[in-house]
Amino acid sequence: MKKLLPALAACLLLALSSFMMLRTAATGYQVGDKAADFQLKNVDGKLVSLASNKAAKGYIVVFTCNTCPYAKAYEQRIIDLHTKYAPQGYPVVAINPNDPAVAPGDSFADMQKRAKEKKYGFPYLQDESQEVARQYGATRTPHLYVVSRQGNDFVVSYIGAIDDNSEDAKLVKTKYLENAMTDILAGKPATVGATKAIGCTIKWKKA
């Protein structure tokens, strides 16, 4: 028993420390949670919130950035999602949570340049304080959240990946997000509500 106590204490300490080190993995939204609204600056200089588009039934909120190879690999697919789902009431809202001090190339000016070059038809917002990414529990780029309007609230109805092949859109077999959207647009909960994907870690501000 005497031997067991230090071991237990060590285990507890380890569990605590790894919990503290994992900044966001275990926190943030789950499917079914209410998503808080935000006010973030768009590349056109105007503030954008979820409430500001009265016609939206919901949004495809995507944490993305200029610099991550995975975000770049998915950029065209994100543009296509907006083209497909905005007319059905679910436009894309892209949010860049990276600290430009850590990720040069993700400055507001770089974001403006990218949105213009690629003719983004959706807002591209800077999460300067990184509060929104933390609230949602985003850990990587790209990281998607579908939120659906319920009365005055927005409820999280899908979290995760776009599809099953980041390298080559032509080799995709399962379109996770589109499958979820089919359910959501039919007023049903997504059969697969949460998926995982690899991405670049969000470039958090150095404490």
In the complex, the residues that contact another protein under the rule CB under 8 A are 10, 13-14, 17-18, 21-26, 69, 137, 139-140, 143, 160-161, 164-165, 167, 171, 174, 176, 195-202
Give whole-number Cα distances, 154 to 73, 128, 146, 147, in Å. 29, 22, 9, 6
Closer by beta carbon to another protein, 141 or else 157: 141
Residue 99 beta carbon to another protein: minimum distance, rounded to whole angstroms: 12
Residue 127 beta carbon to another protein: minimum distance, rounded to whole angstroms: 16
Closer by beta carbon to another protein, 135 or else 165: 165
Give whole-number Cα distances, 62 to 5, 176, 192, 207, in Å. 46, 14, 18, 25
Q: Does residue 154 sit in helix, strand or coil? A: strand
Closer by beta carbon to another protein, 48 or else 62: 62
191, 179 contact by CB (below 8 A): yes
The answer for residues whose C-beta is within 8 angstroms of residue 207's C-beta and 6 or more apart is none
Residue 59 beta carbon to another protein: minimum distance, rounded to whole angstroms: 21
Closer by beta carbon to another protein, 18 or else 52: 18
